[in-house]
Amino acid sequence: MDGIEQVAFEMISNTGEARSLLMKIIDDADKGNFDNYEADFKKANDCLKTAQKVHLKVISSEADQKKLPFSILLVHAEDQMMAAELIRDLAQYIVNINKQLVELKEKEK
């Protein structure tokens, strides 16, 4: 495996871990369970930061005029990272909405 493939797989691995955690957060919020939200969100964000740092190295190489070979695997990794970043932002929104719903239901009792 050459350098660009290694970079892509590192991005995909960290991004996949983040997506799994974020989907768990959304599922838990749907059930009204917010106990692990902070810890899971931090782990997911840390995974995304790792993927972003790896990606920044690729971009920096390109900016330094170091031509990199085209890699569909890297394109896939970037796509996955972008999707996970979007899920992260939506997860925060979904958790907040579900917290408000739980509070409203509690007030109705």
pLDDT in tens, 90-106: 999 999 999 999 999 99
Looking at residue 38, its pLDDT comes to: 97
Looking at residue 68, its pLDDT comes to: 80
Looking at residue 76, its pLDDT comes to: 97
Looking at residue 67, its pLDDT comes to: 79
Looking at residue 70, its pLDDT comes to: 86
Burial of 71 (0-12, 13-18, 19+ CB in 10 A): middle
CB atoms within 10 A of CB 78: 19
CB atoms within 10 A of CB 107: 7
Q: Is the distance from CB of 87 to CB of 25 less than 8 angstroms?
A: no
Which residues of the chain have a pLDDT value below 70? 1
CATH 1.20.58.80 for domain 3-108, yes or no, is yes
Looking at residue 1, its pLDDT comes to: 53
